[in-house]
Chain A
């Protein structure tokens, strides 16, 4: 187009999210109400078949004690009581060991691992060299004429993680924007600053063994972003992150 060349450089950045793998723990109120609901459900229910059987067997046992009438000896067979079944089930339950919610990576605080914070979203941060600074940012590359900004963001992802990354980009429209002006030293009339457009994607597979990681990277949760991102940038990014 014949429009005057805008003085802003355009960048496309990708916010790549690894979705949570387990549920978040319940809050105190949620736990209390869940317990109450269970109690009410029990109160309003009728006896189940298993419970009926248990009650009948208890009744029979009591009668046997009272009347000293030993039926088992007469028939010579052992009967499995409902109580025995319950004990068996209890033993089985105690023997079950659930997978740990806190992984080794959590204990070591290894932030490069994807196998941590299984109940939260994890985001990819990459170290960029901007000017003469090294900054932690969401992966970004500069826009090239001929591609849409979404492709720019996808290219950013591929640049840092390799081509075999499996991610689902959420739509064509950017989720947020961070605008900044270059320091006065390098600012010119035609090169005032940069606009970084953020896109969101969900990581489809946790298998990044194929990925060729080109620079320093981290996977962090929303709360941990503050440790790495500058305040203005962080503010803009936080707006489009749902916890």
Chain B
């Protein structure tokens, strides 16, 4: 109660009045609860920086792990992908699907063999004719280029 305050205490208060406003000002700042709290504010501001460092390290560690996994996979021999066309669907393995045809007579087999031999010869001749034609074509071009070179080096260079 104000009546019980002794007179010397009042005098104390008046001499303290010089630094009292400062104390009040400090108290007013929103990020400090007390004078001693000044030191605790520093870590609060540095927190984002630490996040970056830690994250960077974590990310690097992750990347390395991924790379290791990739290397392992690559080292493993590539599996063969089954080709769809080579797998016969099961319905075509049923026995009732087999065609019933008369067997070949010996004359027929003879005829086939002779025909295939004739075909061999025919194809050989065709192939030789093609090769000959290509050779003639190339020779004709070589001759033309030779003559051109005799005429003019410039035109020859433009042609090749």
Q: Which chain A residues have a beta carbon within 8 Å of chain B's beta carbons?
A: 1, 6, 8, 10, 27, 29-30, 32-33, 36, 42-43, 45-47, 52, 148-150, 172-177, 179, 195, 197-198, 236, 239-240, 242-243
Contact = CB atoms under 8 A, between A and B. Distances in A.
Nearest to A236: B140
Name the residue among A172, A240, A242 with the largest chain B CB count within 10 angstroms.
A240
A8 B151 contact: yes
A198 B122 contact: no
A8 B147 CA distance: 11
Contact of B101 (A43, A174, A195, A197): A43
Given A43-B101, A148-B155, A172 B160 contact: yes
A177 B144 contact: yes
A32 B133 CA distance: 26
B71 interface: no
Given A46-B97, A174-B145, A32 B115 contact: yes
Q: How large is the interface on B (under 10, 10 to 19, 20 to 34, 35 or more residues)?
A: 20 to 34
Contact of A149 (B99, B116, B143, B159): B159
Nearest to A56: B96
Contacts of A6: 150-152
B65 interface: no
Contacts of A239: 136-137, 139-140
A1 to B, nearest CB: 7
B154 to A, nearest CB: 7
Contacts of A10: 151, 155
Contacts of A29: 118-119, 122
B153 interface: yes
B112 interface: yes
Given A43-B99, A46-B92, A242-B133, A176 B159 contact: no
Interface in B67-103: 92, 96-99, 101
Contact of A172 (B116, B136, B158): B158
B99 A47 contact: yes
A46 B155 contact: no
Contacts of A47: 96-99
